[in-house]
């Protein structure tokens, strides 16, 4: 039986590719994991207590769209964080935001636009689920460079009118993974106005919003509210993975217009995997508590300072505004990653594994992504080894 052609040319996912590159070789020192964006800061202290108190919930099917209490906690957080009123009918709890970032295309992307194959705009580099979501619905993924020249955010306004007129959806990640750039109010405003003119949805991946250097990043819902943009124009996604160091909880949410969320809920009732009830109770508590978030953010801010100190004189080093990755320039990302592993045991991700050659070269080819997720001492040691091996 033939495999579906739409997935026939997918490359290996980034981390299996990395294992193929590095694992045949012995590390040149005590290994330091700086490739995967898996937080290692302490998770909130109440997690075990909440699970234990709700252990019986594992015997019940959980609410598909999220418990009323969880949706209320998320609504309250959005109000405190972004000064927006988002009713619970505009929210959908997710089993990790990757689920939502995929299923939003399944639920909302039309089969055609203006009688033609629809386009889904994707920043390049990008989170790989954006591409697979577009392919799954038969849309044409259009990869738009997000490079130093564009402030590491995609310049969708520069696209030809023919592409914009066929655009059904545009993914945008802010704070950006991997570059750490942040969409400011002007960027969001221009993107939202562009979406209005050409009638497409803005899909805002804001999962790194609570890890930042100085000021909290502007949120798309705030800007949309202030501009009077129709709530159906935007779907935004948030997660507890980075905010609360709960990657294994697999808990996030989507927020959008009531019609969009209703369609996503309907699809999820057929094809989704809701979060077990005890874990939804943990998520309720996590969205209602900011103390653990501030403590974790302070640890990342210390690591920003370490990175600036160790790498500040490296040509091309750009201090990230937010998130917990460094996007470091090298001659060739794969060669640099292999050299670091063999010489020092430092494990980083070649930038090309997060991007695609869409006819203008791979914009990640000359970078490595370095995750600042380890403790401060290991981060300092790892960054020192990166400096010594690659830049001296």
Each residue's pLDDT tens digit in the chain (392 positions)?
Answer: 766 777 777 778 999 999 999 999 999 999 999 999 999 999 999 999 999 999 999 999 999 999 999 999 999 999 999 999 999 999 999 999 999 999 999 999 999 999 999 999 999 999 999 999 999 999 999 999 999 999 999 999 999 999 999 999 999 999 999 999 999 999 999 999 999 999 999 999 999 999 999 999 999 999 999 999 999 999 999 999 999 999 999 999 999 999 999 999 999 999 888 999 999 999 999 999 999 999 999 999 999 999 999 999 999 999 999 999 999 999 999 999 999 999 999 999 999 999 999 888 999 999 999 999 999 999 999 999 999 999 98
- Report residue 213 as tokens: 């250097």
Contacts of 93 (CB under 8 A, 6+ apart): 65, 66, 67, 70, 71, 74, 251, 252, 253, 274, 275, 280, 283
Q: Residue written as tokens 């300092």?
A: 380
Question: In a 10 Å sphere around its CB, with 0-12 CB exposed, 13-18 middle and 19+ buried, how is residue 13 labelled?
Answer: exposed
Residue for token pair 């309250």: 76
Q: CATH 3.90.1150.10 residue ranges in the chain?
A: 5-42+292-390
- Distance, in Å, from the CA atom of 46 to the CA atom of 295, rounded to the nearest integer, reads 15
Determine the Cα–Cα distance for residues 187 and 185; give it in Å rounded to an integer: 5
Residue 352, CB-side half-sphere exposure with 13 Å CA sphere: 19
Q: Which two tokens stand for residue 228?
A: 């009077």
Distance of alpha carbon 141 from alpha carbon 148, whole angstroms: 22
Element (H, E) at 271: helix 258-271
User: Which residue spans of the chain are classified as CATH 3.40.640.10?
Assistant: 47-289
Domain 47-289 has CATH 3.40.50.150: no
Contact 246, 286 (CB under 8 A): yes
Q: How far apart are CA 116 and CA 9, in angstroms?
A: 23
| Exposed/middle/buried for residue 36 (C-beta within 10 Å: 0-12, 13-18, 19+) | middle
Q: How far is CA 236 from CA 32, 256, 339, 352, 387, in A?
A: 34, 6, 39, 26, 37
Please state the separation of Cα 303 from the chain's center in Å: 20
Residue 206's nearest CA partner among 307, 320, 127 is 127
Which CATH number applies to 5-42+292-390?
A: 3.90.1150.10
- Is residue 254 within a helix (H) or strand (E), and if so which, with residue range? strand 252-256
Neighbours of 9 (CB within 10 A): 7
């Amino acid at each position: 039986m033939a495999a579906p052609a739409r997935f026939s040319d997918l490359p290996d996912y980034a981390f299996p590719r990395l294992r193929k590159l590095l694992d045949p070789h012995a590390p040149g020192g005590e290994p330091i994991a700086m490739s995967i964006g898996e937080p290692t800061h302490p998770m909130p202290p109440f997690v075990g207590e909440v699970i234990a108190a709700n252990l019986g919930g594992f015997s019940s099917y959980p609410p598909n769209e999220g418990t009323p209490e969880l949706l209320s906690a998320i609504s309250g957080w959005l109000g405190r964080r972004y000064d927006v009123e988002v009713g619970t009918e505009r929210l959908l709890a997710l089993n990790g935001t990757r689920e939502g970032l995929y299923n939003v295309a399944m639920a909302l992307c039309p089969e055609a636009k203006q009688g033609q194959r629809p386009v889904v705009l994707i920043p390049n580099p990008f989170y790989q689920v954006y591409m697979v979501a577009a392919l799954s619905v038969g849309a044409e993924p259009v990869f738009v460079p997000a490079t130093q020249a564009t402030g590491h955010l995609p310049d969708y306004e520069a696209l030809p009118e023919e592409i914009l007129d066929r655009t059904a959806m545009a993914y945008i990640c802010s704070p950006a993974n991997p570059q750490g750039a942040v969409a400011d109010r002007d960027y969001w405003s221009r993107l939202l106005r562009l979406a209005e003119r050409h009638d497409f949805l803005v899909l805002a991946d804001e999962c790194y919003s609570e890890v930042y250097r100085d000021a909290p990043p502007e949120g798309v819902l705030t800007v949309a509210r202030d501009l009077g943009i129709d709530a159906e124009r935007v779907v935004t996604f948030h997660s507890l993975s980075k905010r609360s160091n709960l990657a294994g909880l697999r808990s996030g949410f989507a927020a959008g217009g009531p019609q969009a969320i209703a369609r996503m809920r309907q699809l999820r009732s057929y094809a989704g995997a809701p979060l077990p009830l005890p874990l939804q109770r943990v998520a309720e508590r996590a969205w209602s508590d900011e103390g653990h978030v501030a403590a974790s953010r302070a640890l990342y801010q210390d690591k920003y300072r370490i990175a600036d100190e160790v790498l500040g004189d490296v040509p091309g080093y750009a201090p990230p505004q937010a998130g917990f990755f460094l996007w470091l320039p090298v001659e060739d990302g794969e060669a640099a990653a292999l050299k670091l592993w063999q010489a020092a045991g430092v494990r980083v991700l070649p930038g090309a594994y997060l991007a695609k050659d869409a006819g203008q070269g791979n914009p990640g080819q000359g970078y490595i992504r370095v995750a600042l997720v380890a403790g401060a001492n290991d981060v300092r040691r790892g960054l020192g080894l990166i400096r010594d091996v690659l830049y001296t």
